[in-house]
Chain A
């Protein structure tokens, strides 16, 4: 159960990150346009946040790792998306007011909105690796499987969001749906008990 949940959380987190990233382009477009530099700003912020999340997640996995904590990270990542729903427009407007150049405006806007949730999402993969690797000799294989699941999730999140979800739902409704699914999976992981933690 612990194993399945670890993979599920990693795969879903991959889906979640890319869906939020694509919708981020939607949120920034009214204020900064949808030019290549706006996408450049968004991708930079996501990559930077993920890289810091990897460090933090790896560090966190050193002390008493458990699938419950992994679920908790997933829930926190979802909760930190909440400000997007509530304040995105007013935040971006005030950023645009303060920084007229749309390149640096979109960089700051993307940082304010997406940096924190993406750091938490980045923590998932290294933490999950710690939970699924049984011994040193197979660690590479297990890490590879986890990367597969997580990046496959990202591909699915990208495709479904850009081809279909935006055609049937509003941006905020998609975000709410994503957060709810994170809540469900994270909640399920939190309910797991009794099973021993990884060695």
Chain B
């Protein structure tokens, strides 16, 4: 009895000592409890990050180099922007999940002619992105505060269509399960113009990886599977471009990507078509969508 109390006490002390605020000199710029989570803004070593958990090291959402706000410091936005190699001139873009606004800001510079709609469920995140990640009141970015799926259905009712849809609503902690089902992906596909592209940033590393893969494959028979720490899926409403086409498109962006600190030559080899998952895994549907429970399981 006594020893378990001691163990608990030492555990608590350990947690306190390893907390982000005390462990290294991270400066907390902003903290608030929104309707959905905690929204924290930290700055350390000239890099500013928005986090949704106290333990910022695992839950970094978007980071920005304060002196060079154009440089993209994280891996996954670079891979997401790789979708331009597939669809180099999108006229209309829908981004689901704002975060710090890295992706919409970069897209606006890379393809200035595009109309960009961003859907973010949490008003607090919109506020923080405007205040700390100089999203400003950029009129080219149309920010809509709504649930991603509700907005997709609404856009379908209004008979809109998009050349590029980016799904960036997941993090390590939590996956909105209604955004990872076959029905949702069918709705997204219906919202894509012919030849339109879906780029999805996902976090599955556990056995959810297999379920997620077969779910995407059930709607998009072939897709590019880009993996580093994260996984980015790039799918097309139509046939995938061949390697030559990808290469040619990437060359158009070589200089522009360079100014963001992205090397197109490092990005290009990540475009893999290999189907490295269990194909007999169960497809996720609105009827069966325990994505977070599946993500608890180890691979």
Which A positions have Cβ atoms within 8 angstroms of B?
26, 29-36, 96-97, 100, 102, 163, 166-167, 169-173
Contacts and interface: CB of A to CB of B under 8 A. Distances in A.
Interface in B115-163: 121, 146-150, 153-154, 157
B212 to A, nearest CB: 15
- Give the most central of A30, A97, A163: most B CB within 10 Å: A30
B58 to A, nearest CB: 23
A34 B146 CA distance: 11
A172 B287 contact: yes
Nearest to B121: A35
A123 B184 CA distance: 38
Contact of A170 (B285, B293, B294): B285
Given A30-B286, A32-B147, A36-B35, A166 B293 contact: yes
A169 B293 CA distance: 13
B177 A97 contact: no
B285 A33 contact: no
A140 to B, nearest CB: 37
Given A33-B121, A35-B35, A100-B154, A166 B149 contact: no
A33 B150 contact: yes
6 closest A-B pairs by CB: A33-B147, A170-B287, A29-B178, A167-B290, A170-B288, A171-B287
Nearest to B35: A36
Interface in B193-214: none
B176 interface: yes
Contacts of B146: 102
B183 interface: yes
B35 A30 contact: no
B181 interface: yes
B: interface residue count bin: 20 to 34
B289 interface: yes
Contacts of B176: 33-34
- Give the most central of A33, A96, A170: most B CB within 10 Å: A33
Contacts of B177: 29, 34
B287 A102 contact: no
Contacts of A171: 286-288
A187 B121 CA distance: 47
Nearest to B187: A30
A31 B290 CA distance: 17
A42 to B, nearest CB: 14
Contacts of A97: 157
A30 B288 contact: no
B147 A166 contact: no
Contact of B178 (A33, A102, A172): A33
Contact of A30 (B36, B121, B183, B294): B183
Given A36-B35, A102-B147, A166-B290, A30 B154 contact: no
B294 A167 contact: yes
6 contacts: A31-B150, A33-B121, A35-B35, A35-B147, A102-B150, A166-B289
A167 B289 CA distance: 8
A30 B293 contact: no
